[in-house]
């Protein structure tokens, strides 16, 4: 099975929630899976990087159009995480950015972890970032 198929399968196993914390998200097939989950009633939340979300090919705009909640940083530094948490129990993380070029051309790794010891710190980091990037905290001037 290809790594894309494996990743799709893991994502589509979500029943209640999908938390995505992705530096860059331009992979069409993966974005389609995320929209399917949203339509199925799975609670999808996306955190991404401000500088990368507007780049050509980014799927972030389409996710927002579909009604999915997306939050982003306001820093000059990158929101460089690349992880997903399925149903608050399955962590998918690694070096892989969710782009076609990374999946096709790069040497990458992806870890799938279910141990609370490893999943908990990522869940906590997600909730921390989710609150920190709440639009009510955005500074416009």
The residues that touch its own copies, with contacts defined as CB under 8 A, are 23, 73, 75-83, 93-96, 101-102, 104-109, 111, 113, 118, 122, 125, 129
**Active site (annotated) includes residue 139:** no
- The answer to whether 82 touches 21, Cβ cutoff 8 Å, is yes
Active-site entry in 27, 72, 81, 82 = 82
Distance CA 130, CA 141 (A): 22
Separation CA 97–CA 93 (nearest Å): 10
Per the annotation, the verdict on 82 as an active-site residue is: yes
Smallest separation (angstroms) from its own copies to the CB of 43: 22
107 or 139, CB closer to its own copies? 107
- Give the chain's length: 141
Active site residue 80: yes
């Amino acid at each position: 099975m290809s790594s894309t198929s494996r990743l799709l399968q893991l994502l589509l196993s979500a029943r209640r929630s999908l938390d995505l914390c992705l530096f860059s998200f331009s992979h069409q097939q993966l974005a389609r899976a995320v929209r399917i989950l949203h339509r199925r009633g799975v609670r999808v939340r996306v955190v991404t990087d401000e500088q990368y979300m507007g780049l050509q090919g980014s799927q972030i705009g389409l996710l927002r159009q579909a009604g999915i909640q997306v939050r982003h940083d306001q820093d000059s530094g990158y929101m460089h995480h690349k992880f997903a948490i399925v149903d608050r129990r399955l962590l998918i993380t690694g070096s892989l950015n969710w782009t076609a070029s990374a999946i096709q051309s790069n040497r990458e790794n992806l870890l799938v972890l279910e141990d609370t010891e490893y999943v908990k710190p990522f869940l906590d980091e997600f909730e921390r970032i989710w609150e920190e990037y709440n639009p009510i905290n955005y500074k416009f001037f």
